Amino acid sequence: MGEDENKKRERRHQEDLERLRGFRPIDDTFMRGLFKENIPLAELVLRIITGKPDLVLLKCETQADMKRVTGARSVCLDAYATDSTGKKYDIEVQRSDNGADPHRARYHSSMLDIEYRDNSDIGRLMHDFNCTNASDMYFDLLAEKTRYLKENPKGVNEMCKVMEDLRNESYAEGREEQAKSTAIKLNQKGLPIEDIADSIGFSIETVKNWLTPKAV
């Protein structure tokens, strides 16, 4: 049994290595690794997509850092910045409008997947964000981190950890969705919230949140 589990673990690891070879910066999973604790790279990218070369990042978080925040699943990068005039910026790069704050500056990661390419900074960035090979990239900061995550043993281990964490998150989310569905059915049958929470293994507060109609 233990040997079978080891074989499964090794198979998953080999599959992860294969996926890693094909990753591009535009891919959500790889983007987590690229921007994690890397303000200089995030600053470079945001300066280009905002068209503000004097932008200075004060704080930067990736989706992994915000996984407990409502709506964070759609956010790739969350940043607070200022410019040379002292103006403050609250910026997010995300995959969709779901959970978006209308008071924040939003940029969709899909803009980096546009087919056209030119020699402008944004055109070169679009090119780089669709490369699987660091040697094909224009921007040194992006190429350097891509090479580290794909070719350096330590970086490869970091990306394998990111992929494992994503699998665990998906499993936890699936379990939570199933529990929520069960809670709603039990509530419709008149079971007290305390009993529902006890039967599905979630807190009373969580169950109450599931059963409370959300304001539109």
Question: Same structural domain for residues 171 and 129?
Answer: no
**pLDDT score of 135:** 97
Identify whether 68 is part of a domain: yes
Pair (123, 63) in one structural domain: yes
Domain-embedded: residue 36: yes
Q: Are residues 127 and 203 in the same domain?
A: no
Helix (H, G, I), strand (E, B) or coil at 77: strand
Q: CA 102, CA 92: separation in Å to the nearest integer?
A: 11
Last residue of a domain, one of 101, 121, 151: 151
Residue 74 has which token pair? Answer: 């759609």
Residues 136 and 168 in one domain: no
Residue 96 has a pLDDT of 47
Instruction: From 102, 118, 151, give the residue that closes a domain.
Output: 151
**5 in any annotated domain:** yes
Write phi, then psi, for 56 (nearest 5 degrees): -125, 120
Assess contact for 11 and 44: CB atoms under 8 A.
no
**Which residues does 110 contact at the CB level (< 8 Å), separation at least 6?**
95
156 within some domain: no
pTM value is 0.69
- How wide is the angle at C-alpha 38 spanned by C-alphas 97 and 111, nearest 5°? 30
Same-domain status, 81 and 188: no
Same-domain pairing of 130 and 172: no
In a domain, 33, yes or no: yes
Whether residue 197 sits in one domain with residue 129: no
Q: How does pLDDT run along the chain (216 residues), one tens digit per residue? A: 455 878 888 888 888 889 999 999 988 889 888 988 899 999 999 999 888 999 999 988 875 543 443 344 455 678 889 999 999 998 877 654 444 444 445 555 555 555 556 788 988 998 999 999 999 999 999 999 999 999 999 999 999 988 888 788 777 878 888 888 999 999 998 889 998 988 888 889 889 988 887 644
Same domain membership, residue 88 and residue 181? no
The residue from 107, 125, 151 where one domain ends is 151
Number of domains comprising the chain:
2
Q: Which residue has the tokens 């074989």?
A: 7
Contact 49, 122 (CB under 8 A): yes
5 and 71 inside one domain: yes
Strands (E), 12-150: 56-62, 75-82, 88-94, 105-108
With 0-12 / 13-18 / 19 or more C-beta atoms within 10 angstroms meaning exposed / middle / buried, residue 188 is: exposed
84/6 same-domain check: yes
Q: Do 174 and 127 share a structural domain?
A: no
Same domain, 11 and 70: yes
- Specify if 50 maps to a domain: yes
SS3 207: helix
Residue 120: give the domain boundaries.
1-151
- Alpha-carbon Rg for the chain, nearest whole angstrom, is 21
Cβ–Cβ < 8 Å for 24, 109: no
Residue 216 within a domain: no
In a domain, 168, yes or no: yes
